[in-house]
Amino acid sequence: MSTQSTYQLTRHPVGTLREMWAISWPLMMGFLSGSLMFFADRFILAHASTQAMNAAANAGLTVWMCLMLPLAVVETAEIFVGKANGQGSLHQVATPVWQMLWLTLMITPIFWIGGHLLGPLLFANTGNTELELDYFITQLYFAPCLVGFMTVSSFFIGIGRMHIVTIAMIAGNLCNIALDCLFVFGYNMSSYGAALATGISECLQLLFCLSCFLSKKNRSTYKTSNFKFDFSLLKEFLRIALPSGIGRMNELIAHVLFFRILIMAGGYTMTCATVVQSLYLLMGFIIDGLAKGSAAVVSNIFGAEKLELLPKVVRSAMKLHSILFVCIFALLFTYSDTIATWFFSSDEAFLAENPDFLATLRAAALWMSCYFLFDGYAWVMFGIFTAAKDTKFVMYVNALWNWLGYILPVYLIISVYHYNADSAWMCLAFYNAAIVLTYYTRYRLKIRTQIATQEVAIA
C-alpha cells in the first residue's frame, strides 16, 4: 500500500484540476461566508443610512490599507509552512507561525495608537467624517485579532487542512451578521455597530483556530507548543515578505485614492462605485480561495523540489478560475438590476427607475467583471513569486502600474474630463490586464527558465 507524500495535499495527482478544486473549494466556502458578511454589512447599513454605508465603504478600504502590510507579511507564513511540510520537516512547520504571532504582538500598540492619530487626518473634510472615524478606529482596535487569525490560518492551509479555516470563517461570519442586526437595528449604533460586530467575530475566529493549533495531536506531530522567539528567523521571513507587502499596500493606497477621486466627483458617482465594489466583494471568495489554495500547492512542491509540476499547477489554477468566472458572472448579470436595488436606501429607491443610472451601473459592472477575471490570474502568479523569493519584482511592478496605469488615468477621466463611474472601472480592468501580462512575462522569462535548467535555489 503506497503512502501519500507530505507535499501531496489531497488524494488527487499534484497539479491537476481536481486537486486545485479539492483544495480551493473549502477555502472558497469560507471566504464566501466572508463575502456575504461584507455584503450583509453594506445591505444592513444601506437600509439604515446611505451615509453609514458609504462611510463603511470608504473607511473600510482605508482600514485594509493600514492592514495590508502586516497581513501580507504574516500570510507569507503559509509559504514557509508549505515548504517545511513539502520537505517532510514536520517539527519545523509551526515555527514560522509563532514568529509571525510574536510580530503581531509587537505591532499591536501601533494599531491602537495609530487609529486615533491617523483617523482625523485621513477623513478630514469628507462630509462624512464622524461615521468614518467610528468605523475606522473601532476596526483598528480589533486589527490584531484579524492579523493573528490569518497567521494561525496559514498553518492549516500550508499542511492542507483547509476545513479548519473554513469552519472558523463561516462560524465567525454568521456571528458577525447576527451582531450587525443587533447593533445597527437594535441599538441604532450605525457604522460603529457594524465595526464592533466585525471585531468581535474576528476575536472568536482567532480563539477557535488557536485552540485547534494547540491541540494535543498538533503539539505531538508539528510541535505547535514550541513558541520560542527566533529573531534571525523572523528577519529572514521579513526579508522575503516585506517587499510583497509593500507592493500590495501600494495597491490598497491606490484603491483608497480611487474612492477619494469618486467622492470629489459628487452626484451619484460614489453610490454607483460603492454598489459595484460591493458586487466585487460578494464574488471575491473565488479569488481568495483559489489564491490560498494554489499558494499551498506551490509552496509544497517548492519544498519537495518537484518544480517540474509548477506549469501544471498554473494551468489548472487559471483554468479553474476561468470556469468559475463564467458560471458566477452569468448568474450575476442575469439578476444585476435586482441585486443592485438591495443597496439603495428608501430615499434613493428612485435610482432603480433611473435608466441613465442603471446603464452606467451595468457598464461599470461589466468592467468590474473584467477586472475580476484578471485579478484571479494575478493572484495565482503572486503565490509563485513569493515561493520563488522574487517578491521585490512584485513590489516594483505594483509601484509602477498603480500610479501610471491606474490613479493617473482615473484622475484624468473623472476629475478633468468628468466621465461616469463606468469609465473609472474600465481603467481598473486595463490596469489589471497590464499587471497580469507583466507577471506572466516574468514567469516565462525567469521562473520557467530556471525550472528547465534546474537552477532554482530552494530555501
pLDDT one-digit tens code per residue, 327-358 = 878 877 776 666 666 666 556 666 666 777 77
C-beta separation of 10 from 4 below 8 A:
no
The grid cell for 27 is 477555502
Tell me: pLDDT of 381 over 50.
yes
**Maximum C-alpha span of the chain:** 69
HSE-up of 109 (CA within 13 Å, CB side)? 1
Considering the domain boundaries, does residue 410 fall inside one? Answer: yes
In the prediction, which pLDDT does 265 show? 64
C-beta separation of 296 from 78 below 8 A:
yes
pLDDT tier at 51 (50, 70, 90 boundaries)? confident
Query: Whose CA is closest to 169, among 191, 192, 146, 195?
Result: 146
Kindly state the helix (H) or strand (E) to which residue 239 belongs, with its residue range: helix 231-265
Tell me: pLDDT of 360 over 80.
no
Considering the domain boundaries, does residue 268 fall inside one? Answer: yes
Of residues 39 and 248, more confidence is placed in 248
pLDDT tier at 31 (50, 70, 90 boundaries)? confident
Residue 309 DSSP symbol: G
Name the pTM for this structure: 0.81
| Mean pLDDT value of segment 136-164 | 93
The grid cell for 48 is 439604515
Of residues 187 and 104, more confidence is placed in 104
pLDDT tier at 426 (50, 70, 90 boundaries)? confident
Tell me: pLDDT of 99 over 90.
yes
Considering the domain boundaries, does residue 66 fall inside one? Answer: yes
The grid cell for 86 is 513539502
In the prediction, which pLDDT does 459 show? 44
In the prediction, which pLDDT does 124 show? 81
Q: Which residue type is seen at 454?
A: Q
| Mean pLDDT value of segment 131-138 | 90
Considering the domain boundaries, does residue 259 fall inside one? Answer: yes
Q: Which residue type is seen at 201?
A: S
Q: How far apart are CA 316 and CA 340, in angstroms?
A: 33
Tell me: pLDDT of 457 over 60.
no
Query: Whose CA is closest to 136, among 194, 70, 200?
Result: 194
- Report the chain's mean pLDDT, rounded to a whole number: 84
Considering the domain boundaries, does residue 169 fall inside one? Answer: yes
Of residues 260 and 119, more confidence is placed in 119
Q: How far apart are CA 29 and CA 47, in angstroms?
A: 26
In the prediction, which pLDDT does 353 show? 65
pLDDT tier at 224 (50, 70, 90 boundaries)? very high
Tell me: pLDDT of 50 over 70.
yes
Q: Which domain holds residue 334?
A: 17-453
Considering the domain boundaries, does residue 38 fall inside one? Answer: yes
| Mean pLDDT value of segment 199-204 | 94
Q: How far apart are CA 10 and CA 174, in angstroms?
A: 28
| Mean pLDDT value of segment 125-140 | 86
Tell me: pLDDT of 2 over 50.
no
The grid cell for 228 is 520560542
Query: Whose CA is closest to 313, among 361, 375, 384?
Result: 384
Considering the domain boundaries, does residue 5 fall inside one? Answer: no
Lowest mean pLDDT among 115-124, 298-307, 384-393, 450-459: 450-459
Tell me: pLDDT of 183 over 80.
yes
Lowest mean pLDDT among 215-219, 235-239, 372-376: 235-239
In the prediction, which pLDDT does 1 show? 35
In the prediction, which pLDDT does 458 show? 43
Residue 191's contacts (CB-CB under 8 Å, 6 or more residues apart) are 45, 52, 55, 56, 59, 131, 132, 134, 135
In the prediction, which pLDDT does 245 show? 82
Q: What percent of the chain has pLDDT over 90?
A: 25
Considering the domain boundaries, does residue 83 fall inside one? Answer: yes
CA–CA–CA angle 46, 50, 54 (5° rounding) = 95
- Provide the number of structural domains found in the chain: 1
Of residues 1 and 314, more confidence is placed in 314
C-beta separation of 189 from 196 below 8 A:
yes
